[in-house]
Amino acid sequence: MSDTAEASTAQTLRKSPVARYIQLAGLFRRRIESGEWVVGSRMPTVEELAGQCGVSNMTIRQSLDILESEGLIERYRAKGTFVTSRPKRDLWCQVHTDWSGLLIARENAEIEILSDSRNVDLPFVEEQIGAVAPAYRHLRRRHSRDGAAFLLTDVYLDERLTGHIAEESYTSKTAMRLVADIPDLKIVDARQVMTIGMADLETATRLNIPLGEPVAKVRRLAVDETGTLVLVANGLYRGDLVKIEVKLR
């Protein structure tokens, strides 16, 4: 790495409020994923990485601890640190951009209800469309596949509609399908808004990712023919496992 690149890396690390060892774990993970550090190769030493990134040896060791816990590297005394595998990219959480796609649950996904509250007020929604219902049922759900969590959701449903939804549906259906499958309910407007953020402490804990890791924030809204906002679903996807594909032609 050139002196200019080293200075740029150090400067970028200082700009972010995220702990440096977490930033560096993400940087090193991307180097493995891109093939810059190939499987089977020996990585630069702790001292070399510390010099390149402008941080202490301890900070480098902390970042390597994360990669080792993910099974990406192995460290050997007197031999060095070796890349053992690339990050898995099973695309557990493809974010669909069309109505039919939003109704499809991820294959083999499990949905766990973490909390369930009745007759609550709808929190502030910046992209609000339609009139707010008198009260909502709020479910916090965690979506997992093969034991690995990939999505947290806060689902707000018009309380008046919940009697038309079978209880088992809350652990098997996407948020949009919960309302789409209600007989005689016509959805006349539906939106999806996506932004990128960082995992806070609760999100990091629930999704088993480092604090400050990228997350995709997806908000879905549905309005019925009376003009009522019957559904708001706020989703937090693991940023390292998300894929968005939009067909342009």
What tens digit of pLDDT does each residue of 4-55 get? 555 556 666 665 556 788 888 888 988 998 889 999 999 999 999 999 899 9
Which of residues 55, 83, 111 is at a domain's end? Answer: 83
Residues 98, 181 share a domain: yes
Closest by CA position to 24, among listed 34, 14, 39, 36: 14
Which of residues 83, 115, 138 is at a domain's end? Answer: 83
Residues 203, 126 share a domain: yes
Is beta strand 187-198 parallel, antiparallel or unpaired with respect to 136-145? Answer: unpaired
- Number of domains comprising the chain: 2
- What's the pLDDT band for 90 if we cut at 50, 70, 90? low
Question: Positive or negative CA dihedral for 153, 215, 108, 174?
Answer: positive
Record the tokens describing residue 178, joined without a space: 């919960």
Residues 202, 237 share a domain: yes
pLDDT (mean) for 56-68: 93
What tens digit of pLDDT does each residue of 151-210 get? 999 999 999 999 999 999 999 998 999 999 999 999 999 998 989 888 888 888 888 877
* Per-residue model confidence (pLDDT) at position 239: 80
Domain containing residue 235: CATH number: 3.40.1410.10
